[in-house]
Amino acid sequence: MTSTLPPRVPRPLGARRDAVVVPAGKPVETGYRPTGPVDVRSTLLAHRRGPGDPTMLEDAGIIWRAARTPGGIATLAITMSSSSVRAVAWGPGAEWTIAQVPALCGADDDATGFDASLHPLIAEAHRRNPGLRIGRTDLLFDALAGSIMEQKVTGLQAFGAWRRILQWCGERAPGPTPRPMFAPPPIDGWRSIPSWTWHRAGLEPPQSRTIVAAASRGRSIERAMAGVTDGDDRDRILTSLQGVGLWTAAETRIRAYGDPDAVSVGDYHLAHEVGYALTGSRTDDDGMLALLAPWAGQRQRVIRLIGRAGAREARRGPRLHPEDHRSR
């Protein structure tokens, strides 16, 4: 896709002088004007896996994203004005990436049937956040691999493993990025990562084995998921993979498809947070599902609004201490 806009490649202010610019050919550029209010920054950064994520960074008002697309690797730079989005992409996958910008910014997010008035906290959060959107990456396996890394560990552990694996086994992203960025490995690349590399990255064996096993069926899973829109059907396909449960399936659906109804059942904190926000006291997964039932079809939207509302129970115990098994 080409643009009628005048060529203007964003150059990050304050970039390191030693930052390497990878030759990427002529950039592809476009403008996108959302039909309603969109908080582009929060919508995009919801896909970042920790502050050191080598696939995403924010610099001088520009959000950068590196990805492996069906057309090859690409780097995307997005800036937002008062009413429009400007996007520039580099690399073999630039055309695909540019075409996908509206979906990434939440253009496909459908709030039909959502009734914020069912609870005062949700109503107020909805009023204060008119630009909340759930974007989609349309990159299934990367969302799945990252979600598997986050199974039953702290965010610190998962984000560290994601960063190391991509820096060691991913591919350097093209374009004038403010610091080196990396796209994830291809599916076959995930499959060929040796056990000692997973170990050095700090990922535990159950997660690494699950990713490798998923990669062995990665192409067939992508084919099976093509055209499937029902959340339960997506869950059945994803959970057919050994080591993938409902939590991982929901996290994958949220990132890859922008699913407004996905609920990460089995999360360490989520049920407590939803219960406290909606009733003032903790609950379990069954209680959370019962509380969210009035918003069936839009439950992830409610969870996002709860997060924006900031209604969190005060911590009463020690934080879960991450274990580092790399020296074992």
**pLDDT (tens digit per residue) in 304-321:** 999 999 888 776 655 555
Residue 325 pLDDT level (bands cut at 50, 70, 90)? low
The per-residue pLDDT for range 208-260, each reduced to its tens digit, is 999 999 999 999 999 999 999 999 999 999 999 999 999 999 999 999 999 99
Q: What is the 3-state secondary structure (H, E, C) of the chain?
A: CCCCCCCCCCCCCCCCCCCCCECCCCCEEEEECCCCCCCHHHHHHCCCCCCCCCCEEEECCEEEEEEEECCEEEEEEEEECCCCEEEEEECCCHHHHHHCHHHHCCCCCCCCCCCHHHCHHHHHHHHHCCCCCCCCCCCHHHHHHHHHHCCCCCHHHHHHHHHHHHHHHCEECCECCCCCCEECCCHHHHHCCCHHHHHHHCCCHHHHHHHHHHHHCHHHHHHHHCCCCCHHHHHHHHCCCCCCCHHHHHHHHHHHHCCCCCCCCCCCCHHHHHHHHHHCCCCCHHHHHHHHHHHCCCHHHHHHHHHHHCCCCCCCCCCCCCCCCCCC
Residue 139 placed within a domain: no
- Flag whether pLDDT at 19 surpasses 50: no
Within-domain flag for 138: no
Asked which of 13-22, 79-88, 162-171, 311-320 is least confident by mean pLDDT, the reply is: 13-22
174 in any annotated domain:
no
In a domain, 161, yes or no: no
What pLDDT was estimated at residue 316?
Answer: 62
Position 141 in a domain: no
pLDDT at 81: 80
Residue ranges making up the domain that contains 44: 28-112
Q: How many domains does the chain have?
A: 1
Q: Report yes or no on 102 lying in a domain.
A: yes
Q: CATH no. for residue 46?
A: 3.30.310.20
**56 assigned to some structural domain:** yes
For 270-291, the pLDDT digits (tens) are 999 999 999 999 999 999 999 9
In a domain, 91, yes or no: yes
Cα dihedral value 80, 22, 48, 155, nearest 10:
-160
Region of poorest pLDDT, from 81-85, 95-99, 235-239: 81-85
pTM greater than 0.75: yes
